[in-house]
């Protein structure tokens, strides 16, 4: 039961760290002034947004691996090649857990999205933005682009 609880916690930590949904806003982005521009979608192309591993996934995996490594040896005092069995198990489980955590976070971060090319109002320049979302903003649709720590494109009906 203890091991299942650890894996469930690990899963939720990794899933919580991965999102590019334009309607999901981090608390640190709330109540801050953002720059905006308006425009029209010229082109929208479906893309696959690939997840990336991070220090959070690797650290979480290492901690869980290290905890599980303490459960490997029946007698932690038993020597293997001059070192205690438990110490060897903890080192290998920590390294393996870190690698597994990094890769798992990257895999859970994979999702669908769209690349939008947007004609900006009052500008000769167009911009391109990739954004994760299941709902496509159609070509020709009016949008607002919100610039901040992350850039978001949302339909605009004003």
**What integer is the mean pLDDT of 9-16?**
52
pLDDT tens digits, residue range 66-121?
Answer: 888 888 777 656 766 667 878 888 888 999 999 998 888 888 878 889 999 999 99
pLDDT tens digits, residue range 115-145?
Answer: 999 999 998 989 999 988 888 999 999 999 9
Residue 38 included in any domain: yes
Number of structural domains found in the chain? 1
What is the distance between the alpha carbons of residues 121 and 27, in angstroms, rounded to a whole number?
A: 30
Residue 32 included in any domain: yes
In total, the chain counts a number of residues equal to 158
Residue 10 confidence (pLDDT): 53
What CATH number should be reported for the domain holding residue 38? Answer: 2.40.50
Residue 117 included in any domain: yes
Q: Check if the beta carbon of residue 10 is closer than 8 Å to that of residue 121.
A: no
Higher pLDDT, 151 or 121: 121
Measured in degrees and rounded to the nearest 5, phi and psi for residue 96 equal -65, -40
Residue 55 confidence (pLDDT): 87
Structural domain harbouring 34: 27-49+113-158
Higher pLDDT, 78 or 148: 148
Q: Is 70 exceeded by the pLDDT of residue 13?
A: no
Residue 66 included in any domain: no
What is the distance between the terminal CA atoms of the chain, rounded to a whole angstrom?
Answer: 53
Q: Which residues contact 47 (CB under 8 A, 6 or more apart)?
A: 112, 113, 114, 115, 130
Neighbours of 79 (CB within 10 A): 10
pLDDT tens digits, residue range 17-65?
Answer: 445 555 566 666 565 667 889 999 999 999 988 888 888 889 989 999 8
Residue 128 included in any domain: yes
Residue 17 included in any domain: no
Residue 89 included in any domain: no
Please tell me the pTM assigned to this model: 0.58
Residue 95 included in any domain: no
What is the distance between the alpha carbons of residues 108 and 130, in angstroms, rounded to a whole number?
A: 18
Q: Which helix (H) or strand (E) holds 144?
A: strand 142-147
């Amino acid at each position: 039961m203890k091991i299942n609880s650890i894996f469930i916690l690990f899963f939720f930590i990794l899933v919580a760290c991965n999102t590019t949904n334009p309607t999901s806003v981090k608390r640190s982005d709330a109540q801050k002034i953002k720059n905006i521009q308006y425009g029209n979608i010229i082109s929208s192309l479906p893309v696959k947004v690939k997840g990336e591993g991070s220090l959070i996934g690797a650290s979480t995996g290492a901690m869980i691996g290290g905890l599980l490594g303490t459960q490997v040896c029946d007698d932690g005092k038993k020597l293997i090649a001059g070192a205690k069995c438990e110490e060897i198990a903890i080192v290998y489980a920590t390294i393996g857990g870190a690698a597994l955590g990094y890769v798992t976070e990257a895999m859970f971060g994979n999702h669908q999205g769209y690349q939008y090319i947007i004609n900006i109002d009052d500008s000769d320049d167009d911009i391109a933005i990739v954004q994760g979302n299941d709902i496509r903003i159609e070509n020709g649709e009016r949008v607002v682009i919100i610039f901040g720590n992350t850039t978001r494109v949302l339909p605009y009906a004003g």
